[in-house]
Structure 1
Amino acid sequence: MPTISECQQLLRGASLRVTRPRVAVLSAVHDHPHADTDSIIRAVRSDLPEVSHQTVYDSLNALTAVGLVRRIQPSGSVARYESRVGDNHHHVVCRACGVIADVDCAIGEAPCLTASDGRGFSIDEAEVIYWGLCPDCVRSQTARSHP
């Protein structure tokens, strides 16, 4: 988890103006990986109660545009944000409770999946989402089926 000073340095390094809302949003994303926008707004408002929804949305868009934050949106889910960027990792999503976890690339470096036919594209990222049940939901399901 970066300090406020480190968040400020990250913003400057990305040529973004350092503002309290941007620092708070970046910090909230670091503190709450895979959080949705409403969760980030709640986290930011714990430090900056007056911040508007629009300011948080604008900050998330700016942070995503410069690569400090990654936006993911598994099928059927709202957008979520994470601070783990630049390593082309993937995600696993629980079908029951919706929890999301990071999964490292299975093969090699980015892109870890080589397209069988790239159609002339210069591919620099592969996105894979694995679906299943998290350990807690598996235990819960097993307990229900074996009373």
Structure 2
Amino acid sequence: MTSSLRPDHADTLRDRGLRVTRQRVAVMSALAGAPHSGADTVLARVRADVGRVSHQAVYDVLNALTDKGIVNRIQPAGSVARYELRVGDNHHHLVCRRCGVVTDVDCAVGAAPCLEPQDLRVHAPGFVLDEAEVIYWGICDPCTHDSRNTDQEEA
């Protein structure tokens, strides 16, 4: 068990009005080391760091951190919810259709919301838009090369 109360994580928790606990710090450390992880991956990393911890405890920590804006939760179609520490900068994600890897990509526009639906005033008068979640789908480089190698082997 290697968990230590990292000052930056502890400060972030305190700044958002949360008590500093080993589990919360361990979850944040897990996400710092493996962004875009699902809860099961976070759980395995937390257990390797602090020892015995329940699934429910990790879910509770993830929910508390998400509610306080410390963690960002994304859920690409067909995927489990994934979590990251990168918050507040209006970035988007690339998702590989084959292996499911998720990669951050900066927003081309910069300011949120970067996209606005047409006819917003007609379809939802008075609706205040503050965010657009963009997910780009495609095939990552390793999967592209893997499919080329498979295609060549089959020929």
Same fold by TM-score greater than 0.5: yes
Please identify, of 61-70 and 104-113, the stretch whose mean Cα deviation from structure 2 is larger. Answer: 104-113
Match of 1:129 in 2: 135
Q: What is the Cα deviation at residue 146 of structure 1?
A: 2.6
In 2, Cα distance between equivalents of 1:108 and 1:115: 17
Match of 2:150 in 1: 144
TM-score by length of 1: 0.93
Match of 2:101 in 1: 99
How high is the sequence identity, in percent, across the aligned residues?
57
Where 1:138 maps in the other structure, the secondary structure is: helix
In 2, Cα distance between equivalents of 1:107 and 1:46: 40
Match of 1:74 in 2: 76
Based on CA coordinates, which of the two structures has the bigger radius of gyration? 2
Residues 5-84 of structure 1: matches in 2 within 5 Å? 5-84=7-86
In 2, Cα distance between equivalents of 1:140 and 1:29: 28
What per-residue deviation string (whole Å, max 9, x for no partner) do you get for residues 26-73 of structure 1? 111111100010000011011111111111110000000000001110
Residue-pair matches, total: 145
Q: What is the Cα deviation at residue 106 of structure 1?
A: 2.2
In 2, Cα distance between equivalents of 1:115 and 1:106: 17
Amino acid corresponding to residue 150 of structure 2 in structure 1: R
Name stretches of at least 5 consecutive residues in structure 2 with no aligned partner.
Answer: none
Amino acid corresponding to residue 140 of structure 1 in structure 2: D
In 1, Cα distance between equivalents of 2:65 and 2:37: 15
Q: What is the Cα deviation at residue 97 of structure 1?
A: 0.6
Amino acid corresponding to residue 129 of structure 1 in structure 2: I
Aligned-residue CA RMSD (Å): 1.2
